[in-house]
């Protein structure tokens, strides 16, 4: 493992004086980790357990709002690059930077649940699993992802897709308000009544407008559900996915499915599996009798290798996604390639594409089509808030893993080629939370589509210097380009 020294240096190349650094450290309630610390190498690992190639000068683990504000002031005053981290699940590695400061809010884990009003006030450091446990103790839940270690802040700010979205919309649709520290170090509250433009922007606009420290969510009753996995041999892939394509057209809003195809023991819904399989991880979050009737055609059209669907608590279903195999592989030196996209339909042409690539797949590989968008998540207009992905379809991820360096080129090429081939079926859409660095500027603009120009205008208002740039970045709109945009609107 590389162990070179890292100095805290401003963006203009000026080192930060030790006296200034010590004064900053003394002002904080949280923990400061310098590059020479024994904890540094562990602290800069990403969510899979792999060391990020970038080396920040400082990692600050904030425990209070005052810590976040002092970090922002220190970075701005000393012209330091900064990145924000909570759950650390950014697929593009936005949680790190070189030579600057990582502001880690993962220890800000306060939570208050008002069961009468069905509202949760949650600290930005909470993970999905932690918030689920707090709300499920009272029989309630909000829309969160199915990986318990994902941080709620980044998940929600990027839109937030989960198994309750067909009934209750995306996570950002259930956000009532948020508190965030702006580029000037001031605290803002964004809601339908305060800083309405900022509230529009943070619901899908990611971390471009400030560091969120607290989020307020709308909660919904969530008790017993039907959940489990239908597992089929790879030989049945065409039959299974063809049936599913027709079945999904008229499924109830309460239904959710994640499709896993692969031969890797790191598939989250089938840990330990090494033979090629197709998994349908299904959930019906509603009346159990209605759920049994709704799922009957899916469970009976073709005999699966196994059927684990049963009644369980919503919390149990949310807790079943296990990423430990990924973490163990990554932390032990394994290598991975991962890309993502969106497909509107899993029709014969799309299925032909996938199955052709599987014939040449590396070992191991994993293709996941996740959380079919339908129902409530597709109802709002695409410009109701920054999150504009309001169409039926699947987000997907393509994954390969290897230990032998000689397999690197072939594995990366397979992942990239399949992702590019599936772009034909995207309808030009993308999900910002799944964007990787490979998506580039084109991917960001695809994710925001017609909302991008408005986001750039709001960015200029709240962060004109683009201080918050370690993210899927929206650049502040210049006055000249805004004027051109307004003139174009007037002509239309």
pLDDT of residue 54 exceeding 90: no
Confidence band, pLDDT 50/70/90 cuts, at residue 375:
very high
Range(s) of the chain covered by CATH 3.30.43.10? 18-104
> Which pLDDT score is estimated for 45?
84
Range(s) of the chain covered by CATH 3.30.465.10? 111-221
Dig out the tokens for 440 from the structure: 């580039």
- pLDDT tens profile 346-373: 999 999 999 999 999 998 899 999 889 9
Mean pLDDT of 30-39: 91
Q: Which residues contact 483 (CB under 8 A, 6 or more apart)?
A: none
Report the Cα 99 to chain-centroid distance in Å.
25
pLDDT of residue 303 exceeding 90: yes
Dig out the tokens for 250 from the structure: 């008229």
% of the chain beyond a pLDDT of 90: 78
- pLDDT tens profile 223-234: 999 999 999 999
Measured distance CA(39)–CA(317) in Å, rounded: 34
Mean pLDDT of 147-151: 91
Whether residue 404 contacts residue 363, with contact meaning beta carbons closer than 8 Å, is answered with no
Instruction: Name which CATH class applies to 111-221.
Output: alpha beta
Mean pLDDT of 154-161: 97
The pTM score is 0.93
pLDDT of residue 74 exceeding 90: yes
Q: Which residues pair with 277 in a beta bridge?
A: 233, 262
pLDDT: which is higher, 435 or 370: 435
Whether residue 53 contacts residue 19, with contact meaning beta carbons closer than 8 Å, is answered with no
Q: Which residues pair with 84 in a beta bridge?
A: 103
Helix, coil or strand: residue 205: coil
Dig out the tokens for 174 from the structure: 């259930």
- pLDDT tens profile 194-222: 999 999 999 999 999 999 999 999 999 99
Is the bond leading into 364 cis (omega within 30 degrees of zero)? yes
Instruction: Name which CATH class applies to 224-430.
Output: alpha beta
Low-confidence winner among 190-199, 272-281, 368-377 (lowest mean pLDDT)? 272-281
> Which pLDDT score is estimated for 489?
54
> Which pLDDT score is estimated for 324?
76
pLDDT of residue 47 exceeding 60: yes
pLDDT of residue 6 exceeding 80: no
Low-confidence winner among 264-268, 420-424, 435-439, 466-470 (lowest mean pLDDT)? 264-268
Range(s) of the chain covered by CATH 3.40.462.20? 224-430
Assign a CATH topology to domain 18-104: 3.30.43
Confidence band, pLDDT 50/70/90 cuts, at residue 179:
very high
Confidence band, pLDDT 50/70/90 cuts, at residue 487:
very low
How many residues are there in the chain? Answer: 492
Q: 52-56 — which CB contacts under 8 Å span 24+ positions? A: 52/93, 52/95, 52/96, 54/93, 54/96, 54/97, 54/98, 55/4, 55/6, 55/98, 55/99, 56/6, 56/83, 56/96, 56/97, 56/98, 56/99, 56/100, 56/101, 56/102
> Which pLDDT score is estimated for 403?
92
Q: What is the DSSP string of 47-100?
A: TTSPBPS---SEEEE--SHHHHHHHHHHHHHTT--EEEESS---TT-TT--SSS
């Amino acid at each position: 493992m590389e162990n070179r020294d890292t100095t805290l240096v401003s963006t203009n190349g000026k080192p930060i004086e030790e006296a200034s650094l010590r004064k900053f450290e003394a002002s904080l309630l949280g923990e400061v980790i310098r590059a020479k610390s024994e904890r540094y190498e562990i602290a800069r690992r990403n969510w899979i357990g792999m060391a990020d190639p970038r080396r920040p000068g400082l990692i600050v683990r904030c425990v209070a709002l005052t810590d976040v504000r002092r970090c922002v002031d220190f970075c701005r005053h000393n012209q330091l690059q900064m990145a924000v981290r909570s759950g650390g699940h950014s697929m593009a590695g936005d949680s790190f930077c070189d030579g600057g400061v990582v502001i880690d809010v993962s220890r800000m884990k306060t939570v208050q649940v008002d069961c009468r009003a069905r509202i949760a006030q949650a600290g930005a450091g909470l993970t999905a699993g932690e918030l689920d446990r707090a709300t499920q103790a009272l029989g309630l839940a909000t829309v969160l992802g199915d990986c318990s270690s994902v941080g709620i802040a980044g998940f929600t700010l990027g839109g937030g897709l989960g198994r309750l979205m067909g009934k209750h919309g995306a996570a950002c649709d259930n956000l009532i308000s948020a508190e965030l520290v702006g580029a000037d170090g001031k605290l803002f509250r964004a809601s339908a009544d305060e800083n309405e433009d900022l509230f529009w922007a943070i619901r899908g606009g990611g971390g471009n407008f400030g560091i969120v420290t607290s989020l307020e969510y709308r909660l919904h009753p969530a008790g017993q559900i039907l959940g489990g996995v239908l597992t089929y041999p790879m030989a049945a892939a065409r039959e299974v996915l063809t049936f599913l394509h027709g079945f999904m057209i008229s499924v109830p809003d309460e239904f959710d499915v994640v499709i896993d195809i692969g031969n890797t023991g790191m598939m989250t819904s089938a840990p330990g599996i090494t033979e090629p399989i197709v998994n349908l991880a299904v959930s019906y979050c509603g009346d159990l009798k209605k759920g049994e009737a709704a799922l009957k055609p899916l469970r009976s059209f073709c005999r699966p290798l196994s059927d684990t669907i049963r009644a369980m608590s919503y919390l149990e279903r949310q807790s079943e996604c296990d990423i430990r195999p990924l973490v163990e592989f990554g932390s032990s030196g394994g290598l991975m390639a991962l890309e993502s996209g969106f497909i509107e339909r899993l029709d014969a042409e799309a299925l032909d594409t996938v199955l052709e690539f599987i014939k040449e797949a590396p070992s191991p590989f994993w293709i996941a089509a996740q959380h079919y968008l339908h129902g409530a998540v597709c109802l709002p207009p695409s410009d109701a808030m920054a999150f504009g992905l309001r169409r039926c379809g699947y987000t997907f991820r393509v994954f390969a893993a290897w230990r032998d360096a000689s397999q690197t080129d072939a594995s990366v090429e397979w992942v990239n080629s399949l992702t590019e081939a599936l772009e034909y079926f995207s309808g030009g859409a993308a999900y910002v939370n799944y964007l990787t660095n490979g998506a580039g500027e084109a991917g960001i603009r695809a994710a925001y589509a017609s909302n991008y120009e408005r986001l750039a205008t709001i960015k200029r208002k709240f962060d004109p210097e683009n201080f918050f740039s370690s993210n899927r970045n929206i650049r502040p709109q210049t006055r000249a380009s805004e004027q051109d945009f307004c003139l174009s609107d007037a002509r239309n």
